[in-house]
Structure 1
C-alpha cells in the first residue's frame, strides 16, 4: 500500500479553502481518496469584485497571507502535488490576472482562473457513483458566492451542465435581476419532464451547514418541506440573532439565506422533493482531476 498526499486550493467568492487528501493506492484496487484536512478562510473576494469591479489592496494582502499559510501547511503535510483554482470573483475582477501574478511572486503559489464551464466540469468529476441511481434523474447544484453550477444526470450519465451568475454574495448585494432567475428556471425546466423522478444533490458550505443544523445523519437527505421551513425561520431572524442564538459564523449568517433560496428554487423548478448532501465539491473534483491527469 502507498499513501500519497494531494491538495486543492479553491479560491471562491466567499471563502478560500485548502483541502488535503490522502490518496491510498493498493495493488489491484482503485485508488481511494480520504480527506486529511480542510481549512477555510473567509476572504470574501466577491464583495470587492461584484460591487467595485476589482480586488482591493486589503483583500489582496489577505489573500497573499492566506496563500503563504497554505503553502506552509502543504509542506508540513508533505503534499506532493496541488492545484489552485479561482472562480467567479477573480474571473470577473478587472485586476484578476494582476492579483494572480502578485500572489505567485509573493508566495510561489500558482493560481489558475477557471471559467464557469471548467468549474462545472471539475465539480462533475467528483465521485457520485455511490449516490446516483439509474432509475432516477439528478440535478447537481453547487452554490457559490458569485455563481451556481448546475449539472444534470440521467440513468447514471452526465447529460448537461451550465454555470449561471447567481450566487449568495451577488444576491446579498442586489446584483441578480429577474432575467437571471428566469434564465435559470427556463434551463432547469427544459432538462426534466413530469415523468422524471428528480432529486437534488447539493454542494457548498451553506447546504453542508444546513444539513448539520437539521440534525440528520450523514447520508440522510434534506426534504424540500424542511428546507422551506428553515429558510423562513432564518429569514425571520436578524443577522445578530443568527450569530448569537444559532451559533453561525459571521460570514455564514448572511449568505445562508440566499443559498437556501437557490436550492429551494432549483427544487421547485425540477420537481425534486429530496436534497442529498454528500459534502463534496470543487476541491474534491480538483484533487481527482490532478490525480488522474
Structure 2
C-alpha cells in the first residue's frame, strides 16, 4: 500500500482552513483518503466584503500570516500535492486580484477564486455521495458564509443546481436582497414538484455543529422536530450564553442563528422531514479533486 499526503486550503467567508489528508492507494489501484489534520483560523472576510465591498488591510495581513502558517504545516507534513481555493468573500471583493497576487508574492501559494456552483460540485464529488441510495431523491444544500448552494439529486444524478447570494455572514450583516427568500422558495418548489419522499443533505460548518449538539444517535441525521426544538432553545439564549452552553467558538455563536434559519426554510419549502449530515466540506472536495487528477494522470 502506498500512502502520501495531500492538502487543501479553503479561504472562506467566515474562516480560513487547511486540511491535510492521508491518501492511500491499495494493491488494486483503489485510492481513498482520511483526515490527518484540520486547522481553522477565524478570519471573517465576509464582514469586510459584504459591508465595505473590499477586504481591509488588517484582514489582508491576517490572510498572509495564516497562509504562511498553512504553508509551513504543508511542509512539515511533507505534502506532495495541494490546492488553494477562495469562495464568495474574496471573490466578490473589489481588491480580490490585488490580494491574490499579494498572497502569491508573500507566500508562494497560488489561490484560485471559485464560484458557488464549482464549490457545490467539489463537495458533492466526495466519496460519501457515491454511497447514497440511488433510489432516493435528495435536495443538497450547502450553507456558507456568503452563499448557499442548492442541488437536486435524483437516481444518483445531479439534475439541477443553483447558487444564491445568501449565507450566514451576509444575513448577520443584513446584506441580503429582500427578494432572495422568494427566489429560493420558488426554485425549490419548481424543481422538487412531483418528487416524492425528498431527503435533504446538509453541509457546512453550522449544520455540522448543530448535528453535534442535537444528535443523540450516530446516524448522521437531524429530524425537522429536532431542528425546531433546537431553534426554540437557542433563540432564547444570548450570544454569551450560546458560547457557554454549547461550547461554541465566538465566530460560530453568532452565525449559527442565520444558518439555522436557512436550513429550516429549505426544509419547509421542500417538504422534507430530515437532514442527512455527512460532515464534509469544501476541503474534502478539494482533496477528492486532487485524487481524481492523480488517477487521470
Residue 258 of structure 1 aligns to a residue whose secondary structure is: helix
* 2:86 is aligned with 1:95: no
Q: Distance in 1 between matches of 2:219 and 2:2?
A: 29
Which residue does the alignment assign to 1:23? 23
The CA deviation at 1:154 is: 0.5
1:8 and 1:286 in contact (8 A); partners too:
yes
Residue 38 of structure 1 aligns to a residue whose secondary structure is: strand
The TM-score with structure 2 as length reference comes to 0.95
Which residue does the alignment assign to 1:292? 292
Which residue does the alignment assign to 1:179? 179
Which residue does the alignment assign to 1:207? 207
Which residue does the alignment assign to 2:5? 5
The CA deviation at 1:177 is: 2.9
1:87 and 1:114 in contact (8 A); partners too:
yes
Which residue does the alignment assign to 1:283? 283
Q: Counterparts in 2 of 1:106-255, with a 5 A limit? A: 106-129=106-129, 131-255=131-255
Q: Distance in 1 between matches of 2:173 and 2:108?
A: 33
Q: Distance in 1 between matches of 2:17 and 2:179?
A: 31
Q: Distance in 1 between matches of 2:4 and 2:161?
A: 31
Q: Distance in 1 between matches of 2:184 and 2:207?
A: 19
Q: Where does the alignment leave 5 or more consecutive residues of structure 2 unmatched?
A: none
The CA deviation at 1:29 is: 4.7
Greater shift in the superposed pair: 264-273 or 217-226: 217-226
Greater shift in the superposed pair: 231-240 or 86-95: 231-240
Which residue does the alignment assign to 1:258? 258
Q: After TM superposition, where is structure 1 displaced by more than 2 Å over at least 4 residues in a row? A: 128-131, 215-220
The TM-score with structure 1 as length reference comes to 0.96
Which residue does the alignment assign to 1:49? 49
2:31 and 2:291 in contact (8 A); partners too:
no
Q: Distance in 1 between matches of 2:146 and 2:195?
A: 33
Residue 128 of structure 1 aligns to a residue whose secondary structure is: helix
Q: How many equivalent pairs are there?
A: 293
Q: Counterparts in 2 of 1:33-72, with a 5 A limit? A: 33-72=33-72
Q: Distance in 1 between matches of 2:36 and 2:193?
A: 41
Change in CA separation of 1:221 and 1:195 when aligned onto 2, cut-off 3 Å: same
1:219 and 1:278 in contact (8 A); partners too:
no
Change in CA separation of 1:129 and 1:240 when aligned onto 2, cut-off 3 Å: closer
1:43 and 1:63 in contact (8 A); partners too:
yes
2:137 and 2:195 in contact (8 A); partners too:
no
The CA deviation at 1:268 is: 1.1
Residue 51 of structure 2 aligns to a residue whose secondary structure is: helix
Change in CA separation of 1:218 and 1:17 when aligned onto 2, cut-off 3 Å: farther
